[in-house]
């Protein structure tokens, strides 16, 4: 390892003659050297190359610069890096081509630190890089070496080389220096498709999706990579609907053919909003367009079907996969867990172990979640302690969160609180929110206030935790404290997250807010709500849970507030817009409210429809007046 750094090496600017010579390709050869050179280039296996190398040594050509250079590159291309390094080390006074090749071979294999060491060694040897050397080195540059390389490129006169500029842009984009990337991009005299895509990727990766879209629209030509950047950018930044719209726009371009990256992003978008119909269409599209369903794509489809509420499709994909890794098994276990089918999750876990697959920390998050959704306290505790004792996996904050949620929801509040206080890692807001929610579920106002006071002191209160504390006070009818909490939220600028529910019909996702009046079928939706209210009045087993409405209102006003919750609007729209007997699938961004949970039971019984509701925590399957959660949620 050299002690010099990029910033400490003296670099007098060489003459133009020196730079142009450094960039010249090796001269052509003739005779034996030419024959051996051609044989090296034609070698497709290590054995072929070794035979050529042996002839070269027997003929005393081991110091031929061009043959050594070609051998060095050939060994590298066959994955024999040690042989390539040996050739390089045996070369007397290696030139810029030898140095560039050895840097490139390390960069190609992801050995970026070693690549940069060779680059610094080259500079220390007095060899000046050419444009290609720079382009190769920049692929291995870190945030620490990016700016020195930029300065060096400027000193050596490469500041106007498109490939070098694009490489520098990639360094800034890759290392998260958006400001420097934008400044360089704005100053570029010419912009290639690659440089524009690099800048667009930088924007999308760091959440500036509007700037990415602006660049995308400005592009005179686009390839599949450009489309993938936008579709993935929307999907990864919480705009799944926009991702699907962009995909449909891509399909309308006859020159564009989606690839694996495209469909992976679209599958992710479908899973985020529960767009099952679109997800099934994408699955058919993959099969009809000869896109190989490999391990990654198969696992993505499995995960998408689980998130869209179709475990049958998820299991079918799982069983058809001949190659499964731990991520695939984890996805199937987590799928069963989020639907509350704990027995199936445990069976799949046992099946995974019998298949010889070693579980990891994500496996235990899934299986512990499965236990927490059905109150399997003993099983969950056994798995938590088995994780470390049998598999050597140290519990992370996510595992403690699952255990605390399991104990809290089952009513073991003190035990859950003691676990949080005894954690050897700092509990996060998710754990505290889980415990606070359990206090509300079991009406433990004392412990709830104690936790809230602790969070306020630590400045950890968030919108969700304020709401949970407000729930506890509202459940006990203490509207003075509810008002105090709301006043506190207002003074701190904290806004309660609005409930939003979505439903997919005819490959279109429809979204509703509470009391929404903006849908084109608004009149028919509210007429359907009136009909539902009639079913509820006639149902002997339904009583409006007005005590859960977090407003100091009369019972009649509270009932009216419940009637226009976003999930009810989505279900009403589903009832008027789909064929009788078909399943209604709704996705809500928050936890479904207790009253709407009871309403869904009644609707499923009266209409004979299955309703699948995905809320923030889990899935609920309503069939014939019952829910898959058995009211443990």
List the Cα angle 599/280/293 in 5-degree steps: 135
Of 277-286, 402-411, 438-447, the one with minimum mean pLDDT is 438-447
Domain presence at residue 343: no
Parallel/antiparallel/unpaired status of strands 619-623 and 611-614: antiparallel
Contact (CB, 8 A) for 521 and 607: no
Judge whether residue 387 has pLDDT over 80: yes
DSSP 261-298: HHHHHHHHHHHHHT-HHHHHHHHHHHHHTT----HHHH
Tokens standing for 447? 């412990």
Domain presence at residue 426: no
Final residue of a structural domain among 156, 176, 191: 156
Domain presence at residue 48: yes
List the Cα angle 118/120/126 in 5-degree steps: 105
510 forms beta bridges with 503
**For 120-176, what is each residue's pLDDT tens digit?**
999 999 998 888 898 888 888 876 777 888 888 888 888 778 888 888 898 888 888
Q: How far apart are CA 445 and CA 442, in angstroms?
A: 9
Strand blocks (E) in 238-395: none
Domain presence at residue 611: yes
Final residue of a structural domain among 156, 175, 208: 156
Of 23-37, 102-116, 586-600, 612-626, the one with minimum mean pLDDT is 23-37
Angle between helices 131-138 and 112-124 in degrees, nearest 10:
150
Domain presence at residue 369: no
Q: How far apart are CA 474 and CA 200, in angstroms?
A: 48
Unique residue bearing structure tokens 């954690």? 423
Closest CA to 567 of 601, 540, 534: 601
Section 516-538 average pLDDT = 95
| The total number of residues written for the chain in this structure | 633
Q: List the domain range (segments joined by +) for residue 524.
A: 500-627
Final residue of a structural domain among 156, 174, 207: 156
Kindly tell me the number of DSSP H helices and DSSP E strands found in the chain: 33, 6
Closest CA to 511 of 523, 494, 498, 528: 498
Domain presence at residue 304: no
Domain presence at residue 66: yes
pTM score > 0.95 for this model? no
**For 258-279, what is each residue's pLDDT tens digit?**
999 999 999 999 999 999 999 9
Q: In this structure, what CATH number is given to the domain that contains residue 141? A: 1.25.40
Domain presence at residue 508: yes
Q: How far apart are CA 378 and CA 335, in angstroms?
A: 22
Domain count, the chain: 2
């Amino acid at each position: 390892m050299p002690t010099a750094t990029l910033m400490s090496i003296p670099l007098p600017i060489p003459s133009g003659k020196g730079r142009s010579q450094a960039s010249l390709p090796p001269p052509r050869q003739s005779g034996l050297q030419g024959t051996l050179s051609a044989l090296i280039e034609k070698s497709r296996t290590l054995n072929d190359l070794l035979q050529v190398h042996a002839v070269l040594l027997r003929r005393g050509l081991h110091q031929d610069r061009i043959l050594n250079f070609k051998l060095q590159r050939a060994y590298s291309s066959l994955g024999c890096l040690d042989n390539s390094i040996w050739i390089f080390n045996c070369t007397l006074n290696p030139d810029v081509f030898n140095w560039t090749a050895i840097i490139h071979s390390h960069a190609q294999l992801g050995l970026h630190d070693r690549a940069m060491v060779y680059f610094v060694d080259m500079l220390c040897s007095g060899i000046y890089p050419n444009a290609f050397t720079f382009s190769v080195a920049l692929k291995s540059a870190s945030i620490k070496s990016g700016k020195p390389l930029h300065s060096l490129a400027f000193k050596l006169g490469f500041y106007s080389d498109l490939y070098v500029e694009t490489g520098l842009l990639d360094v800034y984009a890759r290392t998260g220096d958006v400001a420097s990337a934008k400044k360089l991009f704005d100053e570029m005299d010419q912009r290639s498709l690659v440089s524009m895509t690099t800048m667009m990727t930088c924007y999308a990766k760091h959440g500036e999706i509007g700037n990415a879209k602006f660049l995308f629209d400005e592009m005179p030509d686009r390839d599949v990579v450009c489309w993938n950047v936008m579709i993935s950018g929307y999907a990864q930044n919480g705009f799944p609907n926009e991702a699907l719209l962009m995909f449909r726009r891509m399909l309308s371009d006859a020159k564009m053919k989606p690839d694996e990256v495209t469909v992976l992003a679209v599958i992710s978008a479908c899973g985020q909003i529960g767009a099952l119909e679109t997800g099934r269409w994408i699955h058919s599209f993959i099969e009809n367009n000869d896109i190989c369903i490999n391990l990654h794509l198969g696992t993505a489809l499995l995960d998408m079907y689980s998130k869209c509420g179709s475990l049958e499709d998820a299991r079918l994909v799982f069983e058809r996969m001949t190659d499964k890794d731990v991520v695939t098994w984890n996805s199937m276990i987590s799928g069963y867990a989020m639907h509350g089918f704990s027995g199936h999750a445990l069976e799949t876990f046992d099946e995974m172990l019998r298949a010889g697959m070693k579980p990891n920390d994500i496996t235990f998050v899934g299986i512990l979640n499965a236990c927490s959704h059905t109150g399997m306290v003993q099983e969950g505790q056994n798995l938590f302690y088995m994780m470390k004792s049998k598999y050597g996996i140290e519990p992370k904050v996510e595992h403690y969160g699952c255990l605390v949620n399991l104990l809290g929801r089952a009513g073991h509040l003190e035990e859950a609180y003691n676990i949080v206080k005894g954690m050897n890692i700092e509990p996060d807001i998710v754990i505290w929110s889980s415990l606070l929610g359990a206090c509300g579920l079991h009406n433990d106002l004392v412990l709830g206030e104690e936790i809230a006071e602790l969070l306020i002191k630590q400045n950890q209160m968030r919108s969700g935790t304020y709401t949970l504390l407000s729930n506890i006070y509202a459940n006990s009818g203490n509207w003075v404290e509810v008002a105090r909490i709301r006043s506190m939220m207002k003074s701190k600028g904290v806004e309660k997250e609005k409930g939003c529910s979505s439903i997919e019909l005819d490959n279109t996702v429809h979204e509703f807010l509470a009391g929404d009046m903006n849908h084109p079928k608004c009149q028919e939706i509210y007429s359907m709500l009136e009909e539902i209210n009639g079913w509820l009045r006639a149902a002997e087993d339904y009583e409006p849970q007005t005590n859960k409405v977090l407003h100091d209102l009369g019972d009649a006003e509270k009932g009216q507030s419940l009637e226009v919750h976003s999930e009810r609007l989505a279900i009403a729209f589903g009832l008027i817009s789909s064929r009788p007997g078909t399943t209604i699938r709704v996705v809500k961004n928050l936890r479904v409210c207790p009253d709407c949970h009871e309403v869904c039971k009644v609707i499923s019984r009266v209409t004979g429809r299955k309703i699948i509701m995905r809320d923030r925590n889990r899935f609920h399957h309503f069939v014939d007046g019952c829910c898959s959660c058995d009211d443990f949620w």
